[in-house]
Amino acid sequence: MLKNHLKIAWRNLLRNKVYSSLNIGGLAIGIVACLLILQYVAFELSYEDFHVNKEHVYRIQQDRYDNGKLSTQWAAGAFAVGNHFKEAIPEIEEYVKVVPAGDIVVEVNNAPLRIEKVFFTQTSFFDIFSYPLIDGEIGTVLDEPNTAAISETTALQIFGTKDVIGKTLKISGDVDYKITGVFSDMPANTQLKPNFLASYATFLNFQERNDPENAWAWDGCLSYVRLGKNADPRRVEEKFIPIVEEQVGEFLERFNSSVTYNLQPITDIHLHSNYMEEPEPNGDAKTVYLLLAIAFFIIAIAWVNYINLATARAIGRAKEVGIRKSVGSQRGQLIVQFFFESAMFNALALVLALIIMLLVLPFFNQLSGQPVSYELLTKGSFWLGLSLLFVIGVILSGFYPALVLSRFKPAEVLKGKMVSTKQGSLLRKSLVVLQFTASLFLLIGSLVVYQQIQFMRSQSLGIDIDRTIVVKPPIVSDSTFLTQKKALKASLLQYPSISKVAVSSMVPGQGEGHNAGGIRLIGEDESKQKQYRFLRVDHDFVDFFGMKMIAGRTFSEDFGADEETVIFNRAGVNHLGFDNPEDAIGKQIEFWGDQCTIVGVVENFHQQSLHTAFDPMILRLVPSVYGHFSIKSGINNIAQTITQIESEWDTFFPGNTFEYFFLDDRFNEQYKADHRFGQVFGLFTVLAIFVACLGLFGLASFTSLQRTKEIGIRKVLGATVKSILKLLYKEFALLLILSFLITIPLAWFMAKNWLQGYAFSIPMHWSFFVWPFITIVVVAWLTVSFQSIKASLANPVKSLRTE
């Protein structure tokens, strides 16, 4: 019986090659799109999933409130929280501190090598996290001062071998570290990706005047804890409150401020966290779930195609069913037969989908930026997902056609009576509406994403970042840094291709700025202190970036006391309590124990991408500022200019690496994730529309076939080709209009919700809905036209002979 079912299914597949090709092609494309998206989503959801104790490991996240309002949220909070919480709360089994340390320089083969992603941490790092320590004593690896663990790649870069335990390494020209551990390179699906881990004991030795273990007002430490298996994280958070109150409550009350600490599951960080001082940029849960919805839409469209085409062919197979029943076939046997056909179509589509997926996987990786490799074929979860997709596809796409085709009555169909029903016609129309609705939804979404990305790229930043070369700060330096910095600037400005040079602690696009608490006007009560972002800059910074002065003046070396001066942005003076920027000029503020005078106010500018609102910002003049060198170059001979800069750099800062980037490129990297999302969204939207058109083409073919006799009679009675086309188009036009009306509120809600993730976003516009609708109408019209025109031009004599 099985052999018979397979043979009949295969014959039907070969007998209707166009129908079979449309179905298999549509299903294959739908499965490919679905699988690729699911792999993308699975990777995003897999962050930190490899840790053995992932369910019990949390990051301590800090919220700061000023005057009762949330002002700042830190990923890296106060240094004291880890050890104090561990001592007081028995539910905390272990803790670890991870302190970002920037970059270091080591000498390799008499040449400097910059090592990025350097952290200070404790031995418990390898206990709490499941990062493999492949060499070294896991229980004591980072106990002693001046010890370090390095990644495999870093070991090979520096020493040329992984066998480095016990070797000594001189860091940044003056500190010797003993290598006590080597760990595997971090996987892609983790937030912490260190290359060099120095012992936290070394960090403590550097703090001659500070006590990090009891520092509740010093932020910048990532703290992680592992709770006991039966611990309730909410109850643990409640225990934080009295500890914080005892340690720092009275101090913060003076400033009308407070802090709270929250436990963040490490598995939630990547998609649900975007706080200050994150170790690396995180993903976005909305984006992931939206792509998941797209995967569902595409595979649903493919399954709908099969159902539509299978039921539309019901008349063509009615006599086959009638004959089978008349010779004794039971309805159950026919249902099994039609399920076998569904299984065969889905199986062939699955094989074709796998072939296509293997071919396009490198392209998809490049498009999405995700490291999905061919190794996924070795994972049981992939094949389990594929099997589920196959089973669900067979059931969903085969169930209704099997019921429809198996219920035909042999006495009626063998007499040539019509077997189509109003219910069947209504279902097909409903499924077509579903396809159009999904396609319109995706097309509107793609247009909104594209317009938002274009808006962000074209919006004025309030600063000029064009033709700006930024050189990373020297790591090896001494007390002569200020002298060398001035000399380098003077030497660079002698080149005709270089017009301006400025130095600052951070550059636009690098981060939100340093955090500055306790800012208040001189004479104001301490409770009036506020949180700000600030940059340390030299005299040339404001002029270099072309900032618009709206009050006062810029920094100038003509004023001898300018070192104790600051410039606010508009949001900053508003935050200070001034509606008119002019009123702030000349006022003095308390800034970390110094009294600084406000000499100017600049218009708001984008220190970060348009995802974030304008922060209250202070530019503090620090002539000796250590930081990035921003260099404004000409438009010609960029390579020659860079060579000149490098030559001067090596002269004034020997022993340092020369590393640079173009500021506009680096700033736009903030939109890389948005751009990739737009590309992925757009690609799968096109695929969804293509799959829908395959089904529409097949449905139009069978609709025309069903109405062959009707068209012939109308032509005999004098109907024109135009009137017949109008008749055939009318049905699809009504379905399109209905789809449009259904899509508008759904797409509007989706777009508004997505755009809320941007502080600066495009306004919703009617064209976002009309143009996609027109596009779908044109595509559908072209798809239907081929068969409709063919049917309307057919000879009525031949048409009337069909029955």
209-213, 354-358, 403-407 — which is least confidently predicted? 403-407
- Condensed to tens digits (0 to 9), the pLDDT of residues 506-560 reads 999 888 888 888 899 998 888 888 889 999 999 999 999 999 999 999 998 877 6
- pLDDT for position 202: 93
Judged by DSSP in three states, 609 sits in: coil
State yes or no: pLDDT of 142 exceeds 80.
yes
φ, ψ for residue 763, nearest 5 deg: -75, 150
Q: Could you give the C-alpha distances from 26 to 21, 290, 349, 498, in angstroms and in order?
A: 8, 22, 8, 58
Residue 122, helix vs strand vs coil:
coil
One-letter amino acid at 550 equals I
- CB-CB contact of 508 with 545 (8 Å): yes
Q: What is the pLDDT of residue 530?
A: 86
* Strand-pair partners of 620: 536, 566
The residues that bridge with 114 in the sheet, in sequence order, are 105
Give φ, ψ of 235 to 5 degrees: -65, -35
β-partners of residue 227 are: 92
Tens-digit pLDDT profile for residues 562-600: 778 999 999 999 999 999 999 999 999 999 888 999 999
- Helix H, strand E, coil C: the string for 652-717 is HCCCCCCCEEEHHHHHHHHHHHHHHHHHHHHHHHHHHHHHHHHHHHHHHHHHHHHCHHHHHHHHHC
- Packing angle between helix 672-706 and helix 708-716, nearest 10 degrees? 60
Average pLDDT, integer, range 600-608: 94
Spatial distance between the Cα atoms of 708 and 555, rounded to a whole number of angstroms: 84
Mean pLDDT of 182-190: 92
Mean pLDDT of 402-419: 55
CA distances (Å), origin 308, targets 24, 387, 727, 739: 14, 24, 20, 17
**What CA dihedral angle connects 676, 682, 687 and 689, to 10 degrees?**
170
Q: How are beta strands 594-602 and 565-569 bridged, if at all?
A: parallel
Q: Residue 418: what pLDDT? A: 46
Distance in angstroms (rounded) separating the CA atoms of residues 690 and 26: 8
Taking phi over 0 as left and psi of -120 to 50 as alpha, with beta for the rest, 674 belongs to: alpha
Question: Is 50 exposed, middle or buried, given 0-12, 13-18 or 19+ CB atoms closer than 10 A?
Answer: middle
> At residue 254, what are phi and psi to the nearest 5 degrees?
-60, -30
3-state secondary structure 762-803: CCCCCHHHHHHHHHHHHHHHHHHHHHHHHHHHCCHHHHHHCC
User: Tokens for 252?
Assistant: 């913060």
Characterise 174 by phi-psi region: left (phi > 0), alpha (psi -120 to 50), beta (else). alpha
Cα distance between residue 500 and residue 237, in whole Å? 51
Residues 665-684, mean pLDDT to the nearest whole number = 86
- Whether 311 has a pLDDT exceeding 80, the answer reads no
CB distance 725 to 789 below 8 Å: yes
Q: Which residues contact 789 (CB under 8 A, 6 or more apart)?
A: 721, 725
HSE toward the beta carbon, residue 756, CA cutoff 13 A: 7
Bridge partners, residue 516, by sequence = 532
Residue type, 206: F
Q: Cα(63)–Cα(778) distance, rounded to whole angstroms?
A: 53
Q: Which of 309, 312, 329 is nearest to 320 (CA)?
A: 329
DSSP state of 614: P
Contact 631, 469 (CB under 8 A): yes
How much is the CA Rg of the chain, to the nearest whole Å? 34
Residue 413 has pLDDT above 60, yes or no: no
Average pLDDT in the 461-468 region? 93
Higher pLDDT, 183 or 415: 183
Residue 371 token pair: 């490291």
Q: Is 521 helix (H, G, I), strand (E, B) or coil?
A: strand
Cβ(104)–Cβ(118) below 8 Å: yes
Helix (H, G, I), strand (E, B) or coil at 520: strand
Residue whose pair of structure tokens reads 């777009």 in the numeric block: 751
End-to-end CA distance of the chain: 34
Residues 6 or more apart whose CB falls under 8 angstroms from that of 611 comprise 670, 757, 758, 759
Helix (H) or strand (E) holding 741: helix 721-755
Q: Which token pair is 90?
A: 């028995």
- Average pLDDT score over the chain: 84
Say which residues have a Cβ less than 8 Å from residue 489's Cβ, sequence separation at least 6. 501, 503, 629
- Length of the chain, in residues: 803
Instruction: Provide the token pair at 181.
Output: 């551990």
Q: Decide if pLDDT at 326 tops 80.
A: no
Evaluate whether 205 touches 175 at the Cβ level (below 8 Å). Answer: no
Report the relative pairing of strands 257-265 and 133-135 from DSSP bridges: unpaired
Please list, in sequence order, all residues whose beta carbon lies within 8 angstroms of the beta carbon of residue 501, skipping any fewer than 6 positions away: 488, 489, 492, 493, 540, 544, 629, 630, 631, 632
pLDDT band at 317 (very low <50, low <70, confident <90, very high): low
* Cα–Cα distance, 517 to 35 (Å, whole number): 48
Instruction: Report pLDDT digits (tens) over 423-461.
Output: 556 767 777 888 888 888 888 988 998 899 889 888 889
d(CA 326, CA 451): 61
256: left (phi over 0), alpha (psi -120 to 50) or beta: left
Q: Are 389 and 397 in contact (CB under 8 A)?
A: no
Question: What pTM value is reported for the model?
Answer: 0.84
Residue 619 or residue 258, greater confidence? 619
C-alpha angle 579/585/588, rounded to 5°?
105
Mean pLDDT, residues 329-336 taken together: 65
The CA-based diameter of the chain, rounded to the nearest angstrom, is: 108
Task: Determine the Cα–Cα distance for residues 257 and 241; give it in Å rounded to an integer.
Answer: 14
Q: What is the pLDDT of residues 749-787, one digit of tens each?
A: 988 988 888 889 999 889 999 999 998 888 878 777 766
Per-residue pLDDT reduced to its tens digit, 187-221: 989 999 999 999 999 999 988 778 899 999 888 89
Distance between CA 659 and CA 646 in Å, rounded? Answer: 9
